[in-house]
Structure 1
Amino acid sequence: MNPIGWIEGLQGIGLALVLAGFLFAEELGVPIPFAPGDIMLAIGGVAIAAGRVDAVTLVLAVFVASVAGAVLGRELFAFLGWERLMAVATRLHARTPLERAADLLQRSGWRGVFTARLIPGLRVHTTEVAGVSGMPRATFVAGLLPACVVYVAAFVGVGAAFGRPILALIHQGEHQVLTGVLALALAVVLVVLVRRPLQRTLVALAPEGWASTLRIRTGSAGIVLIPACIGINFAGHAIAVWLRLPLFLDSIGTILCAVFAGPWLGGSVGFISNLVSSNTIDPVASSYSVVSLAIGFAAGLWARLNWRVTGWIALWLTCFAIASLVSAPLNLLFADGRSGVPAGDAIYAWLAAAHVPRILAAYAGEAAIDLPDKLLTVLAALLIAQGLPRPRAEARAVDLDLREAFTFIFRTPTWRRKVMAAALCLVFSWLVIPFLWFTGYQLALARRIRDGSHELPPWDHLGHKLKDGFGILAVLLLWNIPGIVLTIPAGLVGDSGASNGVLTALTALGSLWGLLVLVAEPPIFSQYLRGGFRAAFNLPAIVRRVRVNLGLALIVGALLIALSFAWVVGFLALGIGALATLTYASWVGAYLVGTYAATTDTAAGGAPQTEAVTLPAAIPRTQES
Structure 2
Amino acid sequence: MNPISWVQALEGPALVAVICGLMFIEETGVPLPFAPGDLILALGGIAVAGGRVNPVLLVAAVAVSITVGALIGRAAAALLGWERLMRIAEPLRARGPLERAAGMLQRGGWRAVFTARLIPGLRVYTTQVAGVSRMPMRTFVGGLLPANAVYIGAFVGLGAAFGRPILALIHEAEHQLLITILLIAVVVAVFLLTRAPARRTLASLQAAGWTGPLKFSLDSVGVVLILACLGLNFAGHAIAVTFGLPLFLDSIGTVLAGVVAGPWVGGSVGFVSNLVSSNTIDPIAAPYGIVSFAVGFAAGLSRYLNWQKRASGWVALWLVCFAISAIVSTPLNFLSGGGKSGVGLGDSVYAALSNAHLPRTVAAFIGEAAVDLPDKLITVMVALLIAQGLPQRRTTTAPADLDLGEAFTFVIRSDRWVRKLLAGAVCLLFIWLVVPFLLLVGYIVEIARRVRSGARELPPWDHPWRNIKDGFKVLAALVIWTIPSGLLSIPAAIVDAAVSEGSRQALGGSVSAAAAIVAAVGSVWGLMVVLLEPAIISQYMDRGFLGALNVAAVIRRVRVNLALSIVVGALVVVLSTIGL
TM-score calculated relative to the size of structure 1: 0.61
Q: Is the 8 A contact 2:210 2:304 kept in 1?
A: no
Among candidates 534, 539, 545, match of residue 533 of structure 1: 545
Give 1:536 deviation, angstroms: 0.9
Match among 367, 370, 373 for residue 371 of structure 1: 373
* Residue 173 of structure 1, CA deviation: 11
Give the whole-Å Cα distance in 2 for the aligned partners of 1:554 and 1:293. 12
For the Cα contact (< 8 Å) 1:448–1:457, is it kept in 2?
yes
C-alpha separation in 2, matches of 1:515 and 1:331: 24
Any residues of structure 2 matched to 1:303-318 within 5 Å, and which? 303-307=303-307, 308-310=309-311, 311-318=313-320
- Deviation digits for residues 553-599 of structure 1 (CA, Å, limit 9, x no counterpart): 1111111011111125xxxxxxxxxxxxxxxxxxxxxxxxxxxxxxx
C-alpha deviations, 1:17-52, integer Å up to 9, x for none?
xxxxxxxxxxxxxxxxxxxxxxxxxxxxxxxxxxxx
Does the Cα contact within 8 Å between 1:260 and 1:390 map onto a contact in 2?
no
Measured against aligned partners, the alpha-carbon deviations of 1:329-370 in whole angstroms (never above 9, x if no partner) come to: 101101111111111111111222223222111111110000
Runs of 4+ deviating beyond 6 Å: 172-175
Pairing partner for 2:343 from 334, 341, 344: 341
Structure 2: any 5+ residue segments left out of the alignment?
Answer: 1-171
1:133-167: CA deviations, max 9, x gaps? xxxxxxxxxxxxxxxxxxxxxxxxxxxxxxxxxxx
Q: Which residue of 1 aligns with 2:398?
A: 396
Q: Is structure 2 residue 263 aligned with structure 1 residue 251?
A: no
Residue 208 of structure 1, CA deviation: 5.6
Give the counterpart letter for 1:489 in structure 2. Answer: P
Distance in 2, matches of 1:315 and 1:465, equals 48
Cα distance in 2 between the residues matched to 1:174 and 1:538 = 68
Q: Which residue of 2 aligns with 1:271?
A: 271
Counting only pairs closer than 5 Å after superposition, residues 32-181 of structure 1 correspond to structure 2 as: 177-181=177-181
Instruction: Give the aligned residue type for 2:188.
Output: V
* Contact 2:495–2:515 (Cα < 8 Å) also in 1: no
* Residue 410 (structure 2) aligns with: 408
Aligned partners of 2:177, 2:554: CA distance in 1, in Å? 56
Aligned to 1:423: 425
Q: Which residue pairs with 1:214 in the alignment?
A: 214
TM-score (norm 2): 0.66
Indicate yes or no: 2:528 matched with 1:516: yes
Once the two structures are TM-superposed, the CA of residue 488 in structure 1 deviates from its matched residue by: 2.1
Matched, 1:502 2:514: yes
Structure 1 CA distance for aligned equivalents of residues 411 and 208 of structure 2: 26
RMSD: 2.0
C-alpha displacement of 1:223: 2.2
Aligned residues: 397
- Counterpart AA for 1:553: S
What is the deviation of 1:502? 1.0
Question: 1:276-332: CA deviations, max 9, x gaps?
Answer: 111111111112001000000001101111333221111001000000001111011
SS in structure 2 opposite 1:399? Answer: strand
Counting only pairs closer than 5 Å after superposition, residues 270-289 of structure 1 correspond to structure 2 as: 270-289=270-289
Q: Distance in 1 between matches of 2:527 and 2:430?
A: 29
The residue that corresponds to 1:262 in the other structure is 262
| Residue 543 to residue 200, structure 1, CA distance change in 2 (3 Å) | same
* Cα distance in 2 between the residues matched to 1:517 and 1:173: 53
Q: Tell me, yes or no, if structure 1 residue 449 matches structure 2 residue 451.
A: yes
Q: CA deviation at 1:394?
A: 4.2
Task: Give the equivalent residue in structure 2 for 1:238.
Answer: 238
5+ residue gaps, structure 1, are 1-171, 569-625
Give the conservation status (yes or no) of the 8 Å contact 2:220–2:395. no
Deviation at 1:207, TM superposition (A): 2.3
Give the distance between the partners of 2:514 and 2:262, measured in 1 at CA: 39
Q: CA deviation at 1:529?
A: 1.3
Give the secondary-structure state (helix, strand or coil) at the position aligned to 1:533.
helix
Is the 2:263–2:298 Cα contact (8 Å) retained in structure 1? yes
Give the whole-Å Cα distance in 2 for the aligned partners of 1:245 and 1:293: 23
Match of 1:550 in 2: 562
- Structure 2 Cα separation of the partners of residues 477 and 216 of structure 1: 33
One-letter amino acid of the counterpart of residue 221, structure 2: A
Structure 1: how far apart are the matches of 2:235 and 2:484?
25
Letter in 2 for 1:309: R
Identity, % of aligned pairs? 55
Alpha-carbon distance between aligned partners in 2 of 1:208 and 1:303, rounded to the nearest angstrom: 10
Take 2:324 and 2:230, find their aligned partners in 1: how far apart are those partners?
A: 20
Matched to 2:545, the amino acid is F
Paired position in structure 2 for 1:381: 383
CA radius of gyration, larger in: 2
Shift in CA distance, 209/262, structure 1 to aligned 2, threshold 3 Å: closer
- Say which SS state the counterpart of residue 412 (structure 2) adopts: helix
AA matched with 1:520: L
Structure 2: how far apart are the matches of 1:480 and 1:174?
Answer: 58
Q: Which residue is equivalent to 1:296?
A: 296
Match of 1:3 in 2: none
The amino acid that maps onto 2:385 is L
The superposition leaves residues 466-489 of structure 1 with CA deviations (integer Å, 9 ceiling, x where unpaired) of 111222222221211111121122
TM-fit CA distance, 1:215: 2.2
Given that residues 221 and 394 in structure 1 are in contact (C-alpha distance below 8 angstroms), is that contact kept between their aligned partners in structure 2?
Answer: no
CA contact (8 A) 1:328 1:362 kept: yes
The answer to whether the 8 Å contact 2:220/2:397 transfers is no
